[in-house]
A and B are shown apart, each in its own frame.
Chain A
Amino acid sequence: MKTYILKRLILFPIILILASFIIFAVLRFIPGDPARLMAGLKASQEDVQMMRERIGLDKSFLSQYGLFIFNLIKGDLGVSIRSNKPVINEIGKCFLNTFILVLSSYIIAIVLGFVAGMLAAIFQNTWLDNLVIFFAMIGASTPNFWLALMGMSLFSVKFRILPLMGMGTWKHLVLPSISLAFYPTALIARMIRSSILEVIWKDYIKTARAKGLREIVVYFKHALRNALIPIVTLIGLNFGSLIGGAVVTESVFNWPGLGKLLVDSITYRDYPLIQGCFLVTITSVILMNFIVDLIIAKIDPQISFK
């Protein structure tokens, strides 16, 4: 157990450094001269040269990377070309908004997924089970931005009960978080249903029933425990796809989050901002995977033997 966690602890910063290196290296290949972009359209050749020296483009690749890491540790991600503000401030604002969106989708997905999956398993082969399977199929096969647009046209345009886009009241959160939650809800519901059905005929469940435990206790306490590890893994791994989905959802609803910032920064070729957005997104996903690994190590007794 301890060696497992130690291994993960050593691996975590290594993955982080490699990921930052990949982002840094790949973004060097963006066509166009970042120094010219940053100096502005009217800049003279000398201005561009000065800018090049200021941001360190005249140095070798490795020392550029070293400088980048050094500034990163200080919390300096450079200055946005478009707004001329520090990238770290721009990202900080948006990060919170994305966090709100992703967190609320997560809560919806986990609660709804659990309830639907449990109901489907308890009432296996009834209309309720079929209904859950049907919705899980829809959820897994429908693009979230399409659901978002359909929700908009129905609830914002036709019935006028929800705001069209933007951010502010809790009402603004309803459509984005539900449309983003559809896919993970479907996955969680399916996973819970099949994990429970897998064990429901096993001896230890029969024993629990024979002891005279109430059905609900049998399902929640005994059957669900078996499903816990795959579900925690699934929920954890889904964080990445949720962040990816947020990129699209945010741009549908004009939600001022990290994803929208990323897409906008690519459109405007705002080079330092692109780099910062990728770094923050990837770091949070890697961090999440790391936390999930630790949780699984905690709840899975088998890992301590590995």
Chain B
Amino acid sequence: MKIKEKSSKSNFKKNKRIVIACIMLILLIIIGIFAPLIAPTDPIEQDLSNILQTPNGKHLFGTDQFGRDIFSRIIYGIRISIVEICISIGFAFVIGVLLGLITGYYGGRIDLIIISFLDILAAFPGIILAILIIAVLGPSLINMLIAISIFSIPTFGRLARNSTISLKNKEFVIAAKAIGVNDRNIMFKHIFKNLFTPLLVQVSLTAGGVILTAASLSFLGLGAQPPTPEWGVMIGQGRNFIGIAPHLCLFPGLAISYIVLAFIFLGDGLRDYLDPNLKNKM
């Protein structure tokens, strides 16, 4: 017992990526929570006497075409990014895992229909499917999040289904069945517990992609709408000034890279730490 503890501890030490990722993300969340205290100005209020200032002592990242402080807007943007991740992944996770558990556990015709549907959904390139859905619902932040979560469903659904299929004939499930545990408890208590590791890895790997897609869609004007301090929107609006004021685009882009990088570190690190065998499967 002691030996095992020691080895896992040194394993964690070896895995610097998880630590770095956690520090990066916790820092971001703290700044996001205390945004009103940290941001020097309001993120939306315009100040037309101060437009397009380059970075200086008063405005750390400069000001935009309406005189708004870019630093403040980026800090408030953290909140939007976190909401984007929580809503779209949360929704996709719940639906995907439910579908995966049920189809994997029962098999048969339902399995065939649902998995074929997920396969077709997965054949659409993510951003194109999102644009298709936004074309119908109309461009807005919440519609974009619905679109992103719909195309993320197959990722979680297929993972949950494949793992459930390989788990459902293991001894612990058969034993649970033998002592009369009902199907629902087997699925949600026994099997789900074992799905948790691959799903956790998948959540962190998907989170970076969600941020990139959300930024792309908002940049195209299909997601969050101005004056929301969403990073993609900021770049989309700043692009018209790229010739005279590149800092309008520079800083929001760095913010996007920061958060995506943190999730890549977290996903890779967790995958190697929790289950080295997963590396070849995902």
Q: Find A150's partner among B134, B249, B264 (CB 8 Å cutoff).
A: B249
A289 to B222 CA separation, bound complex (whole angstroms): 27
Check A145–B242 contact: CB distance below 8 A. Answer: no
Minimal beta-carbon separation of B141 from chain A (angstroms): 17
Inter-chain CB contacts under 8 Å: number: 123
Q: Find A244's partner among B126, B242, B253, B261 (CB 8 Å cutoff).
A: B126
**Chain A: interface size category:** 35 or more
Check A142–B253 contact: CB distance below 8 A. Answer: yes
Check A19–B136 contact: CB distance below 8 A. Answer: no
Check B127–A247 contact: CB distance below 8 A. Answer: yes
Q: A157 in the interface, Cβ–Cβ < 8 Å?
A: yes
Among the 9-residue stretches B91-99, B158-166, B176-184, B212-220, the one with 4 or more Cβ atoms under 8 Å from chain A is B212-220
Digit string of A271-290 for contact with B (CB within 8 Å is 1, else 0)?
Answer: 00010001001100110010
Q: A108 in the interface, Cβ–Cβ < 8 Å?
A: no
Which secondary structure dominates where chain B touches chain A?
helix
Among the 9-residue stretches B73-81, B101-109, B117-125, the one with 4 or more Cβ atoms under 8 Å from chain A is B117-125
Digit string of A228-269 for contact with B (CB within 8 Å is 1, else 0)?
Answer: 000000000000110111011001100000000011001100
Check A19–B249 contact: CB distance below 8 A. Answer: no
**Chain B: interface size category:** 35 or more
Q: Say whether, besides A278-B132, A282-B124, A141 and B264 are in contact (CB < 8 Å).
A: yes
Check B125–A243 contact: CB distance below 8 A. Answer: yes
Q: B135 in the interface, Cβ–Cβ < 8 Å?
A: yes
A65 to B257 CA separation, bound complex (whole angstroms): 43
Q: Which residues in B have their C-beta under 8 angstroms from that of A142?
A: 253, 256-257, 260
Within 8 A of B (CB), among A135-152: 137-138, 140-146, 149-150, 152
Check B215–A143 contact: CB distance below 8 A. Answer: yes
Q: A27 in the interface, Cβ–Cβ < 8 Å?
A: yes
Check B253–A146 contact: CB distance below 8 A. Answer: yes
Check B220–A146 contact: CB distance below 8 A. Answer: no
Q: Find A152's partner among B135, B242, B250, B256 (CB 8 Å cutoff).
A: B242
Q: Which residues in A have their C-beta under 8 angstroms from that of B85?
A: none
Q: Which residues in A have their C-beta under 8 angstroms from that of B232?
A: 143
Check B136–A143 contact: CB distance below 8 A. Answer: no
Q: Find A248's partner among B133, B219, B257 (CB 8 Å cutoff).
A: B219
Check B249–A146 contact: CB distance below 8 A. Answer: yes
Check B128–A278 contact: CB distance below 8 A. Answer: yes
Q: B31 in the interface, Cβ–Cβ < 8 Å?
A: no
| Closest A residue to B246 using CB positions | A153
Residues of B within 8 A of A (CB): 119-120, 123-128, 131-136, 138, 208, 212, 215-216, 219-222, 232, 235, 238-239, 242-243, 246, 249-250, 252-253, 256-257, 260-261, 264
List 7 contacting pairs A-B, 8 Å CB cutoff, sorted by A.
Answer: A142-B256, A143-B257, A149-B253, A150-B253, A153-B246, A263-B131, A266-B222
Residues of A within 8 A of B (CB): 15, 18-19, 22-23, 26-27, 29-31, 137-138, 140-146, 149-150, 152-153, 157, 164, 240-241, 243-245, 247-248, 251-252, 262-263, 266-267, 274, 278, 281-282, 285-286, 289
